[in-house]
């Protein structure tokens, strides 16, 4: 009996791996060629039979099709995908140390990683395989927060919970259609996992296998998939697209997350590329829980079943597929018809010399300055006198710090002007476009 057949017989009944399991259904696009569900399932089952015995696999695959294949094979084999927020050797080493019975799974040998490694073969399966089902309570992944507000934290995800959440994402992004998705965010990040891995598994969407970053690469990836096309991206990438002279093929919709999307940016994107921009709200802890049309500055619309309960220091989020209510630092104003407005984050609210402001508003004003291509304002740790100063890193090739402070002074109280304010060539964004606090503090020190 083959190892593939043994795995299939050993799987308990549960939720199918593919919500739409028609054999000829396209699940991915690689180099302009479609990958059918039958071939994907053959690859998954063949790889599951090859994996070493362990409890966890650090999934570092970069090709999105190979990532989704590895993700499913690990889950089918009864293991858990570990998804560190960065590929830095130190982060990988820390993840492996926290989960001793684990190995690294990638397309090539990872340099600087002193651990057991499994390299995916180029050719996987060719035998037909039925769609496996996974138990709802199986922990298929452990995702880690980005570290933008401190140390990364682990968040286990069960198959049942991510399937329930993905059904709402399918309603928001697919609307009953069969979109072809190009994503600029890595699959290891929770937003990337939801939109470019789980969505193809739990809807009729197909995913482009690449990970484009620069505008010309995004345009090329979009030309490699047929209409209707959906671009899953971030405000950082949208700004870069607007600054470029790149021409994009017709895009049915653009989805944005990971950072606030200003209404003026969303309107500019919709006008330039003749499309519709949907902004998603969520977290690594909760997955996506709400959506809105950012260009209209609409309130957020909660996903079905999700509830919010304001707290003194944030908001408590609950849903039928949560194991327990989850606290977030976001402060919200509840509105009728299951809508809400974001009023900032608990950690974003500033009080200096008896005056109040928010980091979100300061960052919005910074990015609105003509000539500022990218930038961030942050509050430093308390000094010896207990004072927490503001600082800023700004990408503005044709401006200096004085000009930027003068522009900020026109709209904010002087006590909130960032000092120091450092002009840099680029911000230390991670692959998801986020800004880990430790990297920002290092960049402020300079070379």
How many C-beta atoms surround the C-beta of residue 250 within 10 A? 11
Q: What is the pLDDT of residue 122?
A: 83
Distance from C-alpha of 320 to C-alpha of 341, rounded to nearest angstrom? 22
How far apart are the two ends of the chain, measured CA to CA in Å?
60
Task: List the alpha helices (DSSP H) in 158-304.
Answer: 159-173, 190-193, 199-202, 215-223, 235-243, 263-273
CA angle 402/406/408 to nearest 5° reads 120
Q: What is the pLDDT of residue 1?
A: 41
Q: What is the pLDDT of residue 9?
A: 40
Q: What is the pLDDT of residue 5?
A: 41
Q: Where on the phi/psi map is residue 288: left (φ > 0), alpha (ψ -120 to 50), or beta?
A: beta
Q: In which residue ranges of the chain is pLDDT below 50?
A: 1-12
Distance from C-alpha of 428 to C-alpha of 421, rounded to nearest angstrom? 15
The string of pLDDT tens digits covering residues 349-368 is 777 766 677 788 888 889 98
Q: What is the pLDDT of residue 113?
A: 82
Of the candidates 438, 149, 195, 147, which has an alpha carbon nearest to the alpha carbon of residue 314?
A: 149
Q: What is the pLDDT of residue 447?
A: 67
Q: What is the pLDDT of residue 11?
A: 44
Q: What is the pLDDT of residue 147?
A: 58
State pTM to two decimals.
Answer: 0.85
The string of pLDDT tens digits covering residues 238-252 is 999 999 999 999 999
Is the CB of residue 306 less than 8 Å from the CB of residue 280?
no
- Domains defined for the chain, CATH in brackets: 3-298 (3.40.50.12780), 353-445 (3.30.300.30)
Distance from C-alpha of 295 to C-alpha of 264, rounded to nearest angstrom? 7
Q: What is the pLDDT of residue 226?
A: 96
Number of H helices, E strands in the chain: 13, 27
Q: What is the pLDDT of residue 20?
A: 82
Distance from C-alpha of 9 to C-alpha of 130, rounded to nearest angstrom? 11
Give the count of alpha carbons within 13 A of 443, CB side only: 24
Return phi, psi of residue 172, to 5°: -75, -35
CA distances from 189 to 144, 155, 246, 291, 292 (A): 8, 12, 26, 19, 21
């Amino acid at each position: 009996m083959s190892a593939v057949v043994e795995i299939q017989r050993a799987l308990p009944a549960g939720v199918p791996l593919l919500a739409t399991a028609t054999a000829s259904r396209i699940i991915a696009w690689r180099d302009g060629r479609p990958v059918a569900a039958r071939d994907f399932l053959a690859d998954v089952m063949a790889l599951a039979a090859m994996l070493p015995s362990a409890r966890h696999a650090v999934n570092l695959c970069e090709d999105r099709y190979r990532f989704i294949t590895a993700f499913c094979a690990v889950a089918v084999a009864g293991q858990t995908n570990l998804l560190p927020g960065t590929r830095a050797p130190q982060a990988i080493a820390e993840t492996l140390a926290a989960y001793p019975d684990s190995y690294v799974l990638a397309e090539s040998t990872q340099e600087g990683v002193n651990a057991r490694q499994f390299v995916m073969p180029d050719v996987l399966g060719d035998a037909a395989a039925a769609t496996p089902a996974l138990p709802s309570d199986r922990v298929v992944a452990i995702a880690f927060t980005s570290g933008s507000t401190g140390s990364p934290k682990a968040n286990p995800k069960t198959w049942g919970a991510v399937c329930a959440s993905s059904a709402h994402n399918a309603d928001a992004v697919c609307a009953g259609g069969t979109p072809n998705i190009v994503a600029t965010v890595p699959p290891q990040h929770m937003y990337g996992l939801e939109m470019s891995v789980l969505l193809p598994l739990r809807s009729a969407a197909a995913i482009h296998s690449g990970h484009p970053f620069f505008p010309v690469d995004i345009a090329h990836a979009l030309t490699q998939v047929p209409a209707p096309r959906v671009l899953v991206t971030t405000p950082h990438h949208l700004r870069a697209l607007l600054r470029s002279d790149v021409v994009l093929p017709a895009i049915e919709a653009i989805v944005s997350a990971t950072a606030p999307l200003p209404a003026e940016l969303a309107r500019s994107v919709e006008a330039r590329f003749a499309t519709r921009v949907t902004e998603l709200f969520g977290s690594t802890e909760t997955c996506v829980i709400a959506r809105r049309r950012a260009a209209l500055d609409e309130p957020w619309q909660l996903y079905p079943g999700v509830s919010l309960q304001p707290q003194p220091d944030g908001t408590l989020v609950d849903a039928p597929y949560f194991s327990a209510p989850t606290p977030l630092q976001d402060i919200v104003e509840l509105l009728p018809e299951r809508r809400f407005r974001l009023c900032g984050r608990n950690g974003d609210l500033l009080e200096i010399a008896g005056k109040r402001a928010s980091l979100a508003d300061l960052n919005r004003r910074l990015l609105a300055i003509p000539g500022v291509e990218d930038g961030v304002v942050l509050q430093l740790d308390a000094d010896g006198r207990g004072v927490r100063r503001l600082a800023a890193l700004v990408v503005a090739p044709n401006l200096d710090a004085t000009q930027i402070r003068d522009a900020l002074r026109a709209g904010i109280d002087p006590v909130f002007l960032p000092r120091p304010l450092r002009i840099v060539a680029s911000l230390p964004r991670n692959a998801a476009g986020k800004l880990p606090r430790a990297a920002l503090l290092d960049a402020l020190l300079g070379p």
